[in-house]
A = this chain, B = another copy of it.
Amino acid sequence: MSEPRACSVARTLDVVGERWSLLVLREVFLGVRRFDLIHKHTGAPRAVLTERLRRLVDAGVLRRGEYREEGRRPRHEYELTEAGRELRPVLTALMQWGDRYLAGPEGPPLQLRHTDCGAPVRTALICEDGHQLPDSGEGLRAVPRHLASREAGDGSAPRGAE
């Protein structure tokens, strides 16, 4: 039991758990694809940015393409892979917390909207039966795999305090 906990949070952090990596992903989610613009919008030092982009490509989160402006040498641009796009809830959850606790007097710099209906979008905890839980996670509990399968099989709701 001296091993660190086996955990999907830790594994995800091995890929994106670093400030610049997450800010790079923010930019690509916002539609910024080119090195120079990502550099400008994140403030990441160029060498760090180069390394982070390479890691995100290696991890299958970003895909690298090429573009060429008239009379210039070819340059790289980046887009999200399917796995990369699925990181959206991570980014929105980070943004939501900052909006709430760190926005300052001017309020949140960006709002997320649903294209279809125009309503603000947020990250929420929901269960498969359709209940929405509070962000604080009240009513949520973590069950280790070996117990989870047993509980799922016996047909009764797991008991337990949180």
Contacts and interface: CB of A to CB of B under 8 A. Distances in A.
Interface of A: 1-15, 17-19, 22-23, 26-27, 29-30, 40-43, 60, 82-83, 85-103, 106-129, 131-133, 135-137, 139-145, 148, 151, 156-160, 162
Contact of A88 (B41, B95, B135): B135
Name the residue among A8, A90, A95 with the largest chain B CB count within 10 angstroms.
A8
Contacts of A141: 112-113, 115
Nearest to A155: B118
Given A125-B89, A129-B117, A9 B23 contact: yes
Given A115-B158, A123-B125, A127-B120, A9 B140 contact: no
Nearest to A148: B111
A159 B106 CA distance: 25
A118 B151 contact: yes
Contacts of A131: 114, 116-117, 119
Contacts of A110: 7-8, 142-145, 148
Contacts of A43: 3-4
Contact of A140 (B113, B126, B135): B113
A150 B140 CA distance: 38
